[in-house]
Amino acid sequence: MSLLAPTSREPRIRYAGDVPDPDDALLVSRLRAGDEATFRDLVRRMHRGLVQVARSYVESPAAAEEVVQETWLAVVAQIDDFEGRSSLRTWIGTILCNRARTRGVRDKRSVPFSSLAPDDVDPVEPERFDARGFWSLPPARWDDGPENLTLRKEAREAIERELGTLPEAQRTVVTLRDLEGWSSEEVCNVLALSETNQRVLLHRGRQRLRAALERYHSGTGR
Amino acid sequence: MFACKDATEHMTDEREGALSGWVRVWYRLHLTICPHCRACRRQLDETVALTREIPPGDVPEKVVDTALAAFRDRRPKT
């Protein structure tokens, strides 16, 4: 298959609300006019999220980088075909996903979004509740959170370390929603997830990050 | 009766505006009377706020250079 072969250009599932960002029209017109600074900025802004999505489907970080690279070449080749029926982010994400899935099939890698792992239950430790489901070990108050810049940086690093240990599907959803600022509709469309499953993955991921931050605050963070 | 464990399971639903009907009523009532669940929700809010501050890493120059080279060679449709 050619590197620049056309791919499916619109998401398979469409949720209301996945509409072009008001800035998309200007962005796309600049790209079509050959504005290099705009393109470079787009590549830099989207890289982390796209690599994480690709990582969900392919065998290695190197393969994920390759898929992202191929995606940018496809975006360049197809930008005139963008019709604005979804956001630009969804359109680019969908191109990436189609390529990553194809690569994943070739690598015989299972797709983490096809089902939710049944043993991955709500991450608030069950022993913190009594038999009736009320707190026996309640969370401490953090007041206003760390205001000192150094402490804030340490807290961020504790979260970042935990992020790296999340199951792939949770890490992808948390990365796109909370680090990259994608909307739930964009995430659902690109990953072909239902709204409910997207929320479950987001919740489990966020609660695990919260637990890591709680350990950091209590001085037992790793 | 809505227990603390139930409330913690709905905290993201609340942030996402996905609570509806009686679940929303019970959830809000529970949060009103339970300081521990309010503390848990504040922890979650702080976690999300800090997560959003994590800076993006560097993009490999090879990725940028290859993409830019293709962009320069692009032939716009006429």
Question: Which domain-ending residue is among A77, A106, A135?
Answer: A106
Q: Would you say B51 and A166 are in contact if contact means Cβ atoms under 8 Å apart?
A: no
Q: What percentage of chain A's residues is helix, strand, coil (to nearest 5)?
A: 60, 0, 40
- ipTM value > 0.85: yes
The residues in B 17-46 lying below 8 A from A, measured between CB atoms, are 18, 36-37, 39-40, 42-44, 46
First to last CA, chain B: 66
pLDDT of residue A151: 82
Which is nearest to A85 in space by CA: A17, A24, A10? A10
pLDDT of residue A141: 81
Q: Scan for tokens 């050959």, then name that residue.
A: A34
**Same-domain check for residues A153 and A183:** yes
Burial of B35 from C-beta contacts in 10 A (0-12 / 13-18 / 19+):
exposed
Question: Which domain-ending residue is among A106, A135, A152?
Answer: A106
Rg (CA), chain A: 20
All residues at 6 or more sequence positions from B37 whose CB lies less than 8 Å from its CB, including other chains: A135, B4, B7, B8, B30, B31
pLDDT of residue A107: 80
pLDDT in tens, A31-43: 999 999 999 999 9
**Same-domain check for residues A175 and A207:** yes
**Same-domain check for residues A80 and A135:** no
**Same-domain check for residues A143 and A61:** no
pLDDT of residue A125: 81
**Same-domain check for residues A131 and A194:** yes
**Same-domain check for residues A141 and A210:** yes
pTM for this predicted structure: 0.86
Q: Which residues of chain A have pLDDT under 50?
A: 1-13, 118-119, 222
Supply angle C-alpha A154, A156, A162, rounded to 5.
105
Q: Is residue A66 part of a domain?
A: yes
Residues B5, A206: C-beta atoms closer than 8 Å:
no
pLDDT in tens, A158-199: 999 999 999 999 999 999 999 999 999 999 999 999 999 999
Question: How many C-beta atoms surround the C-beta of residue A30 within 10 A?
Answer: 16
Q: Is residue A166 part of a domain?
A: yes
Q: Scan for tokens 């848990």, then name that residue.
A: B40
Q: Is residue A162 part of a domain?
A: yes
Whether chain B has a CB inside 8 Å of the CB on A86: the answer is no
**Same-domain check for residues A101 and A149:** no
pLDDT of residue B15: 93
**Same-domain check for residues A141 and A207:** yes
Whether chain B has a CB inside 8 Å of the CB on A164: the answer is no
The pair of three-digit structure tokens given for residue B28, joined into one six-digit string: 């809000």
**Same-domain check for residues A101 and A138:** no
Which is nearest to A52 in space by CA: A15, A96, A8? A96
Domain that holds residue A81: 24-106
The pair of three-digit structure tokens given for residue B33, joined into one six-digit string: 């009377």
Question: Which domain-ending residue is among A75, A106, A137?
Answer: A106
Chain B nearest-CA distance from A191, in A, is 18
Q: Would you say B7 and B30 are in contact if contact means Cβ atoms under 8 Å apart?
A: yes
Instruction: Sort out which chain B residues have CB atoms less than 8 A from A69's CB and list them.
Output: 62-63, 66-67
B5, B33, B34, best to mutate vs chain A, most A CBs in 10 Å:
B5
Element counts in chain A: helices (H) and strands (E):
8, 0
Euclidean distance between CA atoms A176 and A160, whole angstroms:
14
Whether chain A has a CB inside 8 Å of the CB on B59: the answer is yes
Euclidean distance between CA atoms B32 and A25, whole angstroms:
44
Question: How many C-beta atoms surround the C-beta of residue A187 within 10 A?
Answer: 27
pLDDT tens for the 78 residues of chain B, in order: 789 999 999 999 999 999 989 999 999 999 999 999 999 999 999 999 999 999 988 899 989 999 999 999 987 666
Provide φ and ψ at A129, rounded to 5°.
-115, 150
CATH of the domain at A76: 1.10.1740.10
Find the length of chain B: 78
What is the chain A residue with the closest CA to B56? A48
Euclidean distance between CA atoms A95 and A115, whole angstroms:
22
Instruction: Sort out which chain B residues have CB atoms less than 8 A from A153's CB and list them.
Output: none
Residues A72, B67: C-beta atoms closer than 8 Å:
yes
| Domains contained in chain A, number | 2
Q: Is residue A175 part of a domain?
A: yes
